[in-house]
Amino acid sequence: MKKWLTLIPLVGISLLSCEKLLPPTPADNEVLDGPMDGLSPTQLQIFLEGDEAFADIFSPQTGLGPIFVATSCAGCHVGDGKGHPFTTLTRFGNYTNGQFDHLLHLGGGQLQNRAIPGYTAETLPPEATGISRFTPPAVTGLGLLAAVPDETLLALADPDDVNEDGISGRVNYIHPPSFFIPSGWHYSDAQGRYIGRFGKKAAAVDLLHQTVNAYKQDMGITSDFDLQEPINYAVASHPTDPVADPELPAATVQSVVFYLRTLKAPVPRSQHDPQVAQGRQLFMDIQCGKCHVPTMKTGVSDIKALSEIEFHPYTDLLLHDMGAALDDGYTEGSAGTAEWRTPPLWGLGLSANAQGGSIFLLHDGRARSIEEAVLLHGGEAENSRNAFQQLSVQERNAIIQFLESL
Ligand code: HEC
Ligand code: HEC
């Protein structure tokens, strides 16, 4: 059961009896999971169904595999926060002469490194040259990010760097899956591609797209939206698992999407601390806020609690060239191999709670501190990183303290 659900009974018991034996209950702004305010009782009910499905552990009897990476959504997105490197997954393809091939015929683009009994797990084929490791991001506040109209992203984008600030964010145009239903504000280009916004390369158009992919690629679970099992092409007979497809009904997938849409956004802390205020000012002064955009606003939404809300994610949801050090030679959609979608920085200070007491930042978790993550910024962020390096130790600490308060 989720922490926020246990709060009430725990408080009740502690007043009566073994108060000193119970661990201190974390404050509400220290916990990531939990619904946003303003949901109706019916909406809260669907949230709870989605919460349960998100934690559901699959077994070979319930359709896991035949090949897979993990057995539940919550197993990688622990407490809805960032994942530990243990839960990192691998994507691959072949990059030759500017052409990227996801090697679908060899089981790409995602490696399923585990298999149910009697089946063979995948290994990386020798053809794979572009290999990227993705550490799970936090999944809180995504409903707000999903409700920002495309026109906001297009207005932030500056693909040709017309304003000559060295920063040229752009959207990732992708061919959406057949089940994608565009809303009034979704924009498509002349080739019928839509703007991706979820995933490290912004390759998923919406939360349903991301969720259906996760069920299939991460756990080998088919659903009404996608009936195809992941298959190990290195095994001649291409066996699928014995459970009939679809292994999950559309309603369960939809409840998980609803859960993701209505998970509360991280709540900032220590906002009146003068060092935090100084850090925020410096963060904006050295252009960090050009990509990690502090404020966004949702459009009209079918969920009232998500409608026309101003919020503070510290992302522009755009792709940026981050330089050679972060170029894995792997890509998705129209993103370049060095391009990554700006990750939101809200919740950054709570990363360690979900990552086993340490932090693992950037797409593959390679940065072991906020400072290291910043120092690995290159490409479009090079000027900003240089400016960070020129700050005094006290000023750099103020920025870090500000980021830890988000
Ligand atoms: C093996 C670990 C793993 C499992 C299991 C897993 N995820 Fe993820 N999740 C990730 C990783 C890694 C990413 C980043 C993927 C990408 O960039 O495409 C991610 C990304 C996401 C995102 C996008 C977040 C963002 O900010 O763009 C959502 C939403 C999400 N997962 C939901 C789910 C759901 C729902 C399930 C279960 C159906 C699930 N995940 C299962 C590892 C996992
Ligand atoms: C050109 C756009 C851009 C600018 C400018 C920029 N960032 Fe980033 N930032 C990114 C992208 C993209 C990533 C993800 C890179 C990756 O995962 O490999 C990132 C990642 C991060 C992370 C790690 C987040 C996580 O969850 O792993 C931190 C912390 C961060 N940036 C802080 C800063 C600070 C502080 C500055 C100013 C000195 C700054 N950034 C300037 C685009 C930018």
For 148-157, how does the pLDDT look when each residue is reduced to its tens digit (9 = 90+)?
999 999 999 9
Question: Considering only CA atoms, which of 358, 391, 380 is closest in space to residue 135?
Answer: 358
Distance (Å, rounded) from C-alpha 266 to C-alpha 257? Answer: 18
Closest residue to atom 11 of ligand 1, CA basis: 136
Per the CB < 8 A criterion, the answer to whether 15 and 47 are in contact is: no
Closest residue to atom 29 of ligand 2, CA basis: 370
Return the best residue to mutate from 76, 217, 248 for the ligand 1 pocket (most ligand atoms within 8 A of CB).
76
Identity of the amino acid at 221: I
Is the per-residue pLDDT at 378 higher than 70?
A: yes
Residue list, ligand 2 pocket, CB within 6 Å: 167, 283, 286-288, 290-292, 320, 322, 326, 340, 342-343, 345, 361-363, 370, 373-374, 377, 380-381, 384-385, 388, 399, 403
Return the best residue to mutate from 371, 377, 383, 397 for the ligand 2 pocket (most ligand atoms within 8 A of CB).
377
Is the per-residue pLDDT at 238 higher than 90?
A: no
Between 33 and 385, the higher pLDDT residue: 385
User: How far, in Å, is the centroid of ligand 2 from the Cα of 286?
Assistant: 12
Closest residue to atom 40 of ligand 2, CA basis: 288
Is the per-residue pLDDT at 5 higher than 60?
A: no
Distance (Å, rounded) from C-alpha 162 to C-alpha 160? Answer: 5
pLDDT of residue 22: 62
Is the per-residue pLDDT at 224 higher than 70?
A: yes
Mean pLDDT of 160-179: 93
Per the CB < 8 A criterion, the answer to whether 373 and 316 are in contact is: no
Q: 187-213 pLDDT, tens per residue?
A: 999 999 999 999 999 999 999 999 999
User: How far, in Å, is the centroid of ligand 2 from the Cα of 183?
Assistant: 30
pLDDT of residue 15: 42
pLDDT of residue 81: 87
Is the per-residue pLDDT at 110 higher than 90?
A: yes
Is the per-residue pLDDT at 233 higher than 60?
A: yes
Q: Residue 241 is encoded by which pair of tokens?
A: 């698992």
Q: Which atom of ligand 1 is nearest to the CA of 69?
A: 1
Q: b/e string for 3-22 if b means 16 or more Cβ within 10 A?
A: beeeeeeeeeeeeeeeeeee
Q: Residue 49 is encoded by which pair of tokens?
A: 């169904």
Between 9 and 399, the higher pLDDT residue: 399
Which of the residue ranges 66-70, 165-169, 250-254, 370-374 would you say has the lowest mean pLDDT? 165-169
pLDDT of residue 32: 79
CA-atom Rg of the chain in angstroms? 21
Mean pLDDT of 340-367: 92
Ligand with smallest separation from the Cα of 263:
1
Is the per-residue pLDDT at 355 higher than 70?
A: yes
Closest residue to atom 42 of ligand 1, CA basis: 136
Which of the residue ranges 73-82, 188-197, 380-389 would you say has the lowest mean pLDDT? 73-82
Residues in the chain: 406
Closest residue to atom 21 of ligand 1, CA basis: 199
Distance (Å, rounded) from C-alpha 6 to C-alpha 199? Answer: 31
Distance (Å, rounded) from C-alpha 393 to C-alpha 301? Answer: 44
Confidence category of residue 20, pLDDT binned at 50, 70, 90: low
User: How far, in Å, is the centroid of ligand 1 from the Cα of 214?
Assistant: 6
Mean pLDDT of 219-228: 97
Place of tokens 């990363």: 351
Return the best residue to mutate from 32, 156, 292 for the ligand 2 pocket (most ligand atoms within 8 A of CB).
292
User: How far, in Å, is the centroid of ligand 2 from the Cα of 343?
Assistant: 7
Confidence category of residue 1, pLDDT binned at 50, 70, 90: very low
User: How far, in Å, is the centroid of ligand 2 from the Cα of 372?
Assistant: 11
Ligand with smallest separation from the Cα of 400:
2
Mean pLDDT of 380-402: 98
Per the CB < 8 A criterion, the answer to whether 265 and 140 are in contact is: yes
User: How far, in Å, is the centroid of ligand 2 from the Cα of 6?
Assistant: 35
Is the per-residue pLDDT at 41 higher than 90?
A: yes
Q: Residue 311 is encoded by which pair of tokens?
A: 């919020």
Q: Which atom of ligand 1 is nearest to the CA of 221?
A: 38
Distance (Å, rounded) from C-alpha 214 to C-alpha 218? Answer: 5
Place of tokens 């510290």: 314
pLDDT of residue 315: 98
Question: Considering only CA atoms, which of 362, 374, 376 is closest in space to residue 132?
Answer: 362
CA angle, residues 109, 111, 117, in degrees to nearest 5? 140
Ligand with smallest separation from the Cα of 139:
1
Per the CB < 8 A criterion, the answer to whether 104 and 128 are in contact is: no
Average pLDDT of the chain, as a whole number: 92
pLDDT of residue 24: 66
Q: Which atom of ligand 1 is nearest to the CA of 343?
A: 26
Question: Considering only CA atoms, which of 195, 211, 198, 84 is closest in space to residue 146?
Answer: 198
Cβ atoms < 10 Å from Cβ of 401: 19
Distance (Å, rounded) from C-alpha 257 to C-alpha 144? Answer: 13
| Chain centre distance of CA 9 | 32
pLDDT of residue 16: 42
pLDDT of residue 26: 75
pLDDT of residue 17: 44
CB 288 less than 6 A from any atom of ligand 1: no
Distance (Å, rounded) from C-alpha 66 to C-alpha 72? Answer: 15
Q: Residue 36 is encoded by which pair of tokens?
A: 């946003």
User: How far, in Å, is the centroid of ligand 1 from the Cα of 38?
Assistant: 26
Mean pLDDT of 346-357: 87
Q: Residue 401 is encoded by which pair of tokens?
A: 């303290």
pLDDT of residue 35: 95
Between 212 and 349, the higher pLDDT residue: 212
User: How far, in Å, is the centroid of ligand 2 from the Cα of 377?
Assistant: 7
pLDDT of residue 138: 95
Question: Considering only CA atoms, which of 139, 143, 138, 137 is closest in space to residue 39?
Answer: 143
Question: Considering only CA atoms, which of 102, 89, 81 is closest in space to residue 31?
Answer: 81
